Amino acid sequence: MHVDIDGDRFELYVKHELIERVIYDLAVKMEKELADKKPVFIVVLNGAFMFAADLMRHFEFECEIDFIRMGSYEGRERREKVDTILGLNREIKGRTVVIIEDIVDTGNTLNTLLKEFREKEPKEIFTATFLYKPMAHDHKDNVDWWALRIPNDFVLGYGLDYKGKGRNLRDIYKFVEQ
Ligand code: IMP
């Protein structure tokens, strides 16, 4: 199975059934740590919307959910600079904060966010990402939880896009050189 987007080919990589299972397992781990902490989950848009929705459905304790929007990719090209397009406009002082990311690749986005958020004096900050690439190695201490580790391939689906497309796919696909 494959999808073609703007002349580029992506082949099926991770099926939805496996995605559901790893997200459930991740939610169980997170609940153990966060159950009594009334956490504020901060979802990094756009890519994390689908992961966050499924993860949050499994979190059965009191929590709040908020959204921010970042951008660092153009097509498959990574840009050094991470832009904050929609910032956080709420208090997190003294709170347990959990940043929810779609994918940690170089780790730049997460690193930038952690720096920004620490200045707001939360009680503690955790990070959860759906996918985790080994490129992020330099920042691995910043990642508390991940659902799946993948190699350095460019992937799309389940919230992740290529040129703005493919976010709606329920499985994950990876780029194939032709
Ligand atoms: P980082 O700052 O390099 O860790 O990259 C973070 C952002 O780049 C993610 O939140 C994604 O939006 C995007 N990104 C990184 N790798 C991929 C990929 O394989 N497919 C789609 N988007 C990606």
Percent of the chain clearing pLDDT 70 (strictly above): 88
The verdict on the CB of residue 158 being under 6 Å from ligand 1 is no
Q: What is the pLDDT of residues 15-62, one digit of tens each?
A: 999 999 999 999 999 999 999 999 999 999 999 999 999 999 999 999
The verdict on the CB of residue 39 being under 6 Å from ligand 1 is no
Confidence of residue 134 (pLDDT cuts 50, 70, 90): confident
What are the respective helix, strand and coil percentages of the chain, to the nearest 5?
Answer: 25, 40, 35
Q: What is the pLDDT of residues 72-114, one digit of tens each?
A: 655 566 655 666 656 788 899 999 999 999 999 888 889 889 9
CATH of the domain at 101: 3.40.50.2020
Rounded Cα–Cα distance for residues 76 and 93 (Å): 36
Rounded Cα–Cα distance for residues 97 and 3 (Å): 37
Sheet strands (E) in the chain = 2-5, 8-14, 40-45, 64-74, 77-86, 96-104, 124-132, 145-149, 155-156, 172-176
Output the six-digit token pair for 6.
């703007």
Number of domains composing the chain: 1
In a domain, 14, yes or no: no
> Measuring CA to CA, which residue among 96, 117, 84, 121 is closest to residue 30?
96
Are 16 and 170 in contact by the 8 Å Cβ rule? The answer is yes
The verdict on the CB of residue 105 being under 6 Å from ligand 1 is yes
Report the run of H or E that residue 26 belongs to, with start and end: helix 16-34
Which residue's alpha carbon is at the smallest distance from atom 17 of ligand 1?
154
**Domain with 40 in it:** 22-145
Which of residues 80 and 7 earns the better pLDDT score?
7
* Residue 105 a catalytic site member: yes
In a domain, 171, yes or no: no
| Distance of CA 19 from the midpoint of ligand 1 (Å) | 18
The verdict on the CB of residue 109 being under 6 Å from ligand 1 is yes
Which residue's alpha carbon is at the smallest distance from atom 3 of ligand 1?
106
In a domain, 6, yes or no: no
In this predicted structure, what is the pLDDT of residue 119?
93
